[in-house]
Amino acid sequence: MEILDNMDEEGKELVGSALMNISLDGTSNVTNITFFPYYQHSLYVAASYILVYFFIFLLCMVGNILVCLIVLENRRMRTVTNLFILNLAISDLLVGIFCIPTTLVDNLITGWPFSNTVCKMSGFVQGVSVSASVFTLVAIAVERFRCIVYPLQPKPTILVAKAAIVLIWVLAVVIMCPAAVALTVEKVPFHYMVHNDDFNHTFPLYTCYENFDNPQMRKVYTAVLFAHIYLVPLTVITLMYGSIGVKLCSSVVANREPQLANAVQVGGRRGGQPMISQKKIKVIKMLILVALLFMLSWLPLWTLMMMTDYAGLDRDQLDLLTSYIFPFAHWLAFSNSSVNPIIYGYYNENFRRGFQAVCKSRPFCCLGQNEPNKAIICFIIVSRKRQLLIF
């Protein structure tokens, strides 16, 4: 999500470090003009931001596009869980397309360089895509909870999954409508940007922010978003995956003694039952990893957003947050959309086989015409390298 510029209630001054204050003496009034650098950071810091943001952008695009191709091109992959994973990949793609580039530009340039329409649309689309991604994670957790904890109950159908996906996007749009209405671009009076320290090249300072009629409404809206897009989903995901973990662990313990007896009586079945237990343990690890990554990747950004609205920070503290800490928090949050395909794809053999099928029909794959096994090897190598980003 885009972090809007912090402005005080009276003068609506943009948080930042001014290069110079100039007093213009008129006949009866004195006007203070504040100048800001056009670029917020030095060349080396800006280059570092561009590199790390481009890395997660590329990872997000490649991983989520592959997931979409695998599910859409293989009818056998169109299960309820995979439909949710497809929706997660689509919402994560929107995060990569609309959130990462816009946030990067906003972190590099002092003012808002785009129009009022772009301000409204970018903030709205960013919020909707992030909300849909989070709600889809909740839907996946609930669906797996029903299938594993209550296996005898009727499983959700494809039609139910499609209806849930529609509901996810409707809720995401509804919760972000106030932001779309409140977002606006305004010129900050008596504030200008200086390009390359040349005061002959100055530009008016514009900012894109949420202009609520009541200033307290922004704090309330931030709290509502925090509850609905982070706190409540995190609670539901933790409860669902915790219940799944307890169910699988109890199942493994219950099967341990019969497993040992079967291993003594029937040697041919010695490898079957232990393999099932290992798969269950692998599922438990994956579910814990999903919940932990979601919590850890979004916690810093939401903490900073709540601090800026409720902690009463001074100007220097806000300057430090917006210049250096917010860009890292954004990067960490967006990286969650980049690693989701790794988590749901690397642990699933069907996605590995789907990747092989996609590689056979695409020239960008490392597959040779006479070497069909290289597709699997290529995918395993890439997946293991990407998995290092998770831990």
- Give residue limits of the domains in the chain: 42-184+216-347
**Greater model confidence, 354 or 66:** 66
pLDDT at 376: 36
pLDDT classification of 223: cutoffs 50, 70, 90: very high
Contact 350, 357 (CB under 8 A): no
**Greater model confidence, 359 or 323:** 323
pLDDT over 90, % of the chain: 26
- In this predicted structure, the answer to whether residue 373 has a pLDDT above a threshold of 90 is no
Q: From CA 210, how far away is CA 189, in angstroms rounded?
A: 17
pLDDT classification of 280: cutoffs 50, 70, 90: low
Q: From CA 192, how far away is CA 205, in angstroms rounded?
A: 5
* 4 burial level (CB within 10 Å; 0-12, 13-18, 19+): buried
Most confident of 250-254, 296-300, 359-363: 296-300
Range with the lowest mean pLDDT among 234-248, 252-266, 300-314? 252-266
Range with the lowest mean pLDDT among 7-11, 69-73, 115-119, 197-201? 7-11
Output the pTM of the full model.
0.75
- In this predicted structure, the answer to whether residue 175 has a pLDDT above a threshold of 80 is yes
Q: From CA 321, how far away is CA 126, in angstroms rounded?
A: 21
- In this predicted structure, the answer to whether residue 346 has a pLDDT above a threshold of 60 is yes
* 97 burial level (CB within 10 Å; 0-12, 13-18, 19+): middle
Q: What is the pLDDT of residues 203-218, one digit of tens each?
A: 888 888 888 888 889 8
**Greater model confidence, 238 or 381:** 238
pLDDT at 323: 81
pLDDT at 40: 82
CATH number of 42-184+216-347: 1.20.1070.10
**Greater model confidence, 271 or 38:** 38
Q: From CA 146, how far away is CA 154, in angstroms rounded?
A: 9
Q: What is the pLDDT of residues 75-130, one digit of tens each?
A: 888 888 889 989 989 999 998 998 899 889 888 888 888 888 888 888 899 899 98
Q: How many CA atoms lie within 13 A of 296 on its CB side?
A: 10
pLDDT classification of 159: cutoffs 50, 70, 90: very high
CA 105 to chain centre: 17
- In this predicted structure, the answer to whether residue 21 has a pLDDT above a threshold of 50 is no
SS3 20: strand
Q: What is the pLDDT of residues 286-327, one digit of tens each?
A: 777 877 888 899 999 999 989 888 888 777 888 788 888 989
Phi-psi domain of 16 (left: phi exceeds 0; alpha: psi -120 through 50; beta: other): left
Tokens of residue 208, six digits: 């894109």
Contact 16, 319 (CB under 8 A): yes
Please give the mean pLDDT across all residues of the chain.
77
pLDDT at 379: 38
**For range 198-203, the mean pLDDT:** 77
pLDDT at 162: 94
pLDDT at 119: 87
pLDDT at 265: 52
pLDDT classification of 367: cutoffs 50, 70, 90: very low
* 127 burial level (CB within 10 Å; 0-12, 13-18, 19+): buried
pLDDT classification of 32: cutoffs 50, 70, 90: confident
pLDDT at 182: 92
- In this predicted structure, the answer to whether residue 380 has a pLDDT above a threshold of 60 is no
Following DSSP, what letter does each residue of 95-124 receive, concatenated?
IIIIIHHHHHHHHHBSS--S-HHHHHHHHH
- In this predicted structure, the answer to whether residue 53 has a pLDDT above a threshold of 90 is yes
- In this predicted structure, the answer to whether residue 135 has a pLDDT above a threshold of 90 is yes
- In this predicted structure, the answer to whether residue 20 has a pLDDT above a threshold of 50 is no
How many CB atoms neighbour CB 177 within 10 A?
Answer: 12
